[in-house]
Amino acid sequence: MEFERLRIGAFGGLRDFDTGEEPLPRLVVVHGPNEAGKTTLFSFLTSVLYGFYPASRDGNPFTPWGGGNIDCGAVLRLADGERWEVHRRLMGSPSGSLTRGTTQSDLRNHTLPCAEHVPRTVFREVFALTLSELAHLEGESWARVQDRLVLGMGSSDLASLRQVVQDLERDAGRLWRPNRMGHQRIRDLRDQSRELRIRRGEAAEVDRHMREKAAERARLRGELVEARKERQACKQYVDRYRALVPLRIQLERLDGLLEDVGPEDDLAHLPSDPKEALDELADDAAKLARHIEEIEAETEEPTERVEAFGPEQKLLLDKAGRLREWIATVTSMEPTRVRVGQLEQELRDLERRGESASRELFHATWGEVDKEILNSVSIGDLRMALAMYREYVEERRIALEAVRTEAERKESALPFHKHLGPALLVAGVALVAGSSVFLGAPLTIFGAVLAGIGAALVGVMIFFQRRPADRSAEMAKERLTRASDAEEGAREEVAKKVIALPMRGPIVERPTDDLANHLERLQDVDSQTQDRTQLLAQLKGELDGAGAQLQEIAGDLEGLPPDPAQAAHILDGRIREAERAKESARGARRELERLARDRARSEDELGRIQSNVTLLEGRLRDIGKGDLERGIRLARVRLEARERADQLREELEFSHDDLDEIREKIRIAEDAGEDWAIDEDAIEKRKAREEEMVLLIEELGRRVESVERDLGDLGSKATVDAVDGEMAALGERLAEAVEERDRLWVLAAILREAERRFRFEHQPDILRAAGTHLKTITDERYDRLFLGDDGEGAFLLQGPGYAGPKQVGEPISRGTREQVYLAVRLAIVDFLDGGGERLPMFMDEAFVHWDGERRERTFDLLAAASANRQLFVFTCHDAIAASLHERGALRLNLETRL
Amino acid sequence: MRFLHLADVHLDTPFAGRTEALRLRLREASRDGLARAFRAAVEEAVDVVLIAGDLFDGQRLSFETERFLVKQFRALSEARIPVVYATGNHDPGHSGLRAHRLPWPDSVVVVGEREPRRIPIPGRDGARVGFVTAAGHGTERETDDLSRAFPAPGGELPEVAMLHTQVHSARAADAHHPYAPSELGHLEAAGFDYWALGHVHTRQALCDAPPIHYPGNLQGRTLSETGAKGGLLVDLSDRANPRVDFRPFGPIRWETIEVNGLEGATDLEGLQARIRQVWDGERADDPHGDSFEWIARVILRGSCPLWRELAIDEERRTVAHDLGGRLGALDVTVETRGMHPVTSIEEQRGRKDVLGEALRIVDELREGGSLPGIQSEELAGLDGDGRQDQDAYIRSLLDGAEGDILSRLLDPSAG
Q: Give the tens place of pLDDT for each residue, A557-571.
A: 777 887 778 888 888
Interface contact B127, partner A, CB < 8 A: no
The lowest-confidence range among A438-447, A483-492, A775-784 is: A438-447
Question: Are the Cβ atoms of A207 and B62 closer than 8 angstroms?
Answer: yes
Residue B42 to residues B30, B33, B37, B73, B266: CA-CA distances in angstroms?
Answer: 19, 14, 9, 12, 53
Q: What H or E segment, with its residue span, contains residue A187?
A: helix A185-239
The amino acid that residue A119 corresponds to is: P
Instruction: Quote the DSSP letter at residue A115.
Output: G
Higher pLDDT, A620 or A447: A620
User: Which of B14, B20, B379 is opposite residue A745, by nearest beta carbon?
Assistant: B379
Q: Taking residues A461-467, report their average pLDDT.
A: 63
**If pLDDT is split at 50, 70 and 90, which confidence band does B328 have?**
confident
pTM: 0.52
Interface contact B287, partner A, CB < 8 A: no
Strand-pairing partners, residue A795, are A787
Instruction: Tell me which chain B residues have a C-beta less than 8 angstroms from the C-beta of A721.
Output: 12-14, 27, 60, 62, 65
Nearest residue in chain A measured CA to CA from B56: A721
pLDDT tens track for A672-710: 777 777 677 888 888 899 999 999 999 999 999 999 999
The amino acid that residue B251 corresponds to is: P
Question: Are the Cβ atoms of A742 and B381 closer than 8 angstroms?
Answer: yes
3-state SS class at A570: helix
Distance from CA of A53 to the nearest CA of B (A): 11
Higher pLDDT, A369 or A675: A369
Highest mean pLDDT among A39-43, A252-256, A383-387, A859-863: A859-863
Instruction: Order across the sheet with A27-31: list the strands.
Output: A841-844, A871-875, A27-31, A890-893
Q: Please state, for a pLDDT cut of 90, what percent of chain B lies above it.
A: 56
B97: left (phi over 0), alpha (psi -120 to 50) or beta: beta
The lowest-confidence range among A372-376, A461-465, A740-744, A767-771 is: A461-465
Higher pLDDT, A152 or B226: B226
* B21, pLDDT greater than 70: yes
pLDDT confidence of residue A896: 57
Instruction: Tell me which chain A residues have a C-beta less than 8 angstroms from the C-beta of B65.
Output: 721
Interface contact A765, partner B, CB < 8 A: no
CA–CA separation, A459 and A455 (whole Å) = 6
pLDDT tens track for A20-63: 999 999 999 988 888 778 778 888 988 999 999 888 888 888 99
Interface contact B71, partner A, CB < 8 A: no
Instruction: Order across the sheet with A14-18: list the strands.
Output: A14-18, A2-11, A70-77, A83-90, A94-100, A103-106
CB A156 within 8 A of CB A121: yes
User: Which of A153, A164, A176 is opposite residue B353, by nearest beta carbon?
Assistant: A153
Question: Are the Cβ atoms of A153 and B15 closer than 8 angstroms?
Answer: no
The lowest-confidence range among A133-142, A314-323, B137-146, B379-388 is: A133-142
Interface confidence (ipTM) of the complex: 0.82
**If pLDDT is split at 50, 70 and 90, which confidence band does A428 have?**
confident
pLDDT confidence of residue A150: 54
Neighbour count for residue B316 (Cβ, 10 Å): 18
Interface contact A111, partner B, CB < 8 A: no
Q: What H or E segment, with its residue span, contains residue A73?
A: strand A70-77
* A419, pLDDT greater than 80: no
Nearest residue in chain A measured CA to CA from B24: A722
CA–CA separation, A646 and A629 (whole Å) = 26
* A792, pLDDT greater than 80: no
The lowest-confidence range among A17-26, A148-157, A579-588, B205-214 is: A148-157
Higher pLDDT, A258 or A846: A258
Question: Are the Cβ atoms of B14 and A724 closer than 8 angstroms?
Answer: yes
The lowest-confidence range among A47-51, A409-413, A422-426, A459-463 is: A409-413
Residues whose CB falls within 8 Å of the CB of residue A366, separated by 6 or more in sequence, listed in order: A351, A354, A355, A357, A358, A359, A522
pLDDT confidence of residue B111: 94
Question: Are the Cβ atoms of B355 and A725 closer than 8 angstroms?
Answer: no
By the 10 Å C-beta count (0-12 exposed, 13-18 middle, 19+ buried), A75 is classed as: buried
pLDDT confidence of residue A659: 82
3-state SS class at A106: strand
Instruction: Order across the sheet with B204-208: list the strands.
Output: B117-122, B128-134, B159-164, B194-198, B211-214, B204-208
By the 10 Å C-beta count (0-12 exposed, 13-18 middle, 19+ buried), B300 is classed as: buried
CB B26 within 8 A of CB B252: yes
Pairing of strands B128-134, B117-122: antiparallel
Q: What is the 3-state secondary structure (H, E, C) of B300-325?
A: ECCECCCHHHHCCHHHHHHHHHHHHH
Mutate one of A750, A765, A831, A832 to test the B interface: name it (highest B CB count within 10 A).
Answer: A750
Q: Which of residues 699-718 of A touch B (CB under 8 A)?
A: 715
pLDDT confidence of residue A139: 43
Q: Which of residues 1-40 of B touch A (CB under 8 A)?
A: 12-18, 20, 23-24, 26-27
Question: Are the Cβ atoms of B380 and A735 closer than 8 angstroms?
Answer: no
* A549, pLDDT greater than 60: yes
The lowest-confidence range among A347-351, A353-357, A668-672 is: A668-672
pLDDT confidence of residue A140: 45
Listed residue (A741, A735, A204) closest to B222, CA to CA: A735
Residues whose CB falls within 8 Å of the CB of residue A171, separated by 6 or more in sequence, listed in order: A744
Pairing of strands A94-100, A103-106: antiparallel
CA–CA separation, B402 and B337 (whole Å) = 10
pLDDT tens track for A518-536: 888 888 888 999 999 999 8
Distance from CA of A867 to the nearest CA of B (A): 27
pLDDT confidence of residue A147: 59
User: Which of A158, A175, A732 is opposite residue B411, by nearest beta carbon?
Assistant: A158
pLDDT confidence of residue A141: 44
Q: Taking residues B26-31, report their average pLDDT.
A: 91
pLDDT confidence of residue B344: 86
Q: Which of residues 165-184 of A touch B (CB under 8 A)?
A: 167-168, 175-176, 178
Question: Are the Cβ atoms of A157 and B377 closer than 8 angstroms?
Answer: no
Q: What is the mean pLDDT of chain A?
A: 83
Inter-chain Cβ pairs, chain A and chain B, closer than 8 A: 152
Question: Are the Cβ atoms of B373 and A756 closer than 8 angstroms?
Answer: yes
Instruction: Tell me which chain B residues have a C-beta less than 8 angstroms from the C-beta of A715.
Output: 64
pLDDT confidence of residue A162: 80
CA–CA separation, A354 and A367 (whole Å) = 8
Distance from CA of A190 to the nearest CA of B (A): 12
* B363, pLDDT greater than 50: yes
Distance from CA of B24 to the nearest CA of A (A): 7
pLDDT tens track for A614-653: 988 898 898 888 998 898 988 888 888 888 998 998 888 8
pLDDT tens track for B70-122: 899 999 999 999 999 999 999 888 766 666 677 888 999 999 999 999 999 99
Question: Are the Cβ atoms of A167 and B361 closer than 8 angstroms?
Answer: no
User: Which of B353, B379, B415 is opposite residue A742, by nearest beta carbon?
Assistant: B379
pLDDT tens track for B263-308: 989 898 899 899 999 988 888 877 776 678 899 999 999 999 999 8
Listed residue (B201, B222, B317, B9) closest to A732, CA to CA: B222
* A470, pLDDT greater than 70: no
Distance from CA of B367 to the nearest CA of A (A): 15
pLDDT confidence of residue B415: 41
Higher pLDDT, B313 or B160: B160
Question: Are the Cβ atoms of B357 and A732 closer than 8 angstroms?
Answer: no
3-state SS class at A816: helix
Q: What angle (nearest 5°) sits at the alpha carbon of residue B343, between those of residues B338 and B345? A: 60
pLDDT tens track for A314-352: 888 888 888 888 888 888 888 888 888 898 998 898 888
Q: What H or E segment, with its residue span, contains residue A76?
A: strand A70-77
Listed residue (A786, A781, A819) closest to A802, CA to CA: A781
Listed residue (B333, B338, B341) closest to B399, CA to CA: B338
3-state SS class at B191: coil
Q: Taking residues A1-25, report their average pLDDT.
A: 92
Q: What is the mean pLDDT of chain B?
A: 90
Q: Helix A245-261 to helix A659-671 angle, to the nearest 10 degrees?
A: 100
* A463, pLDDT greater than 50: yes
